[in-house]
Amino acid sequence: MTVTAYPLQWPTGRKRTESHRRSRARFESTFAVARDELIAEVRRLGGRNLVISTNIPLRQDGLPYASYRKIEDEGVAVYFTYEGQPMSFACDRWDRVEHNMQAIVKTIDALRGIARWGTGDMMKAAFTGFTALPAPNAHPTWRDVLAVSASESNLDVVRRHYRLAASVNHPDKGGSHEVMARLNAALAQAEKELR
């Protein structure tokens, strides 16, 4: 998927805040500070290939101008790769672009805190909600089905992911036969590919 920085490219499937429901945030930040903090926060996280998508025209280096006229849609969408997976964060709750950007900065900082405080497995779980959605006609890979990152190529790790998913989704534990069939097919595909 090619992401555009301008005009705003909102993530597919993410709900928008109606313009009359947007409110003033309490962030004390200029646009330039929020933009620079966002870039720094994504770098600290280990994100790569950052694209900040807004309705603000771009400078020659591809970043949005710090000074801009009032625009109708203040939403901000941020795209980057994290551990080989495409991620997207988006916010349009606030009535200023810099405040929406600052909200994303705070969110990423909180997720980094999860890793700093020793619960990194929770960070992976939290990030599943921010994974950029695939195209509607795309079929999920075995990695998608088993929630295995691109950096994990060990069959034992894949089987551990499978067992964890199966323990929650097995029909005897309230899951469905369809989900178990997808998990079984994903495991078979992973075993075939990694042997």
Domains of the chain from N-terminus onward = 19-130 (no CATH), 142-194 (1.10.287)
DSSP β-bridge partners for residue 23? 94
Contact 149, 124 (CB under 8 A): yes
Question: And the tokens for 91?
Answer: 């916010």
User: For position 53, what pLDDT does the model report?
Assistant: 94
Question: Residue 1 and residue 79: Cα distance in Å, rounded?
Answer: 11
User: For position 175, what pLDDT does the model report?
Assistant: 75
3-state helix, strand, coil in the chain (%, to 5): 45, 15, 40
Question: Residue 9 and residue 103: Cα distance in Å, rounded?
Answer: 18
Residues 6+ apart with CB under 8 A from 178: none
pLDDT digits (tens, 9 = 90+) for 93-132: 999 999 999 999 999 998 888 777 766 565 566 666 666 5
SS3 190: helix
pLDDT digits (tens, 9 = 90+) for 67-81: 777 788 999 999 999
Question: Residue 101 and residue 92: Cα distance in Å, rounded?
Answer: 9
User: For position 120, what pLDDT does the model report?
Assistant: 54
User: For position 151, what pLDDT does the model report?
Assistant: 76
Task: Write out the E strands in 7-157.
Answer: 48-53, 76-82, 85-91
Q: Pick out the chain residues at pLDDT < 50.
A: none
Question: And the tokens for 73?
Answer: 């849609």
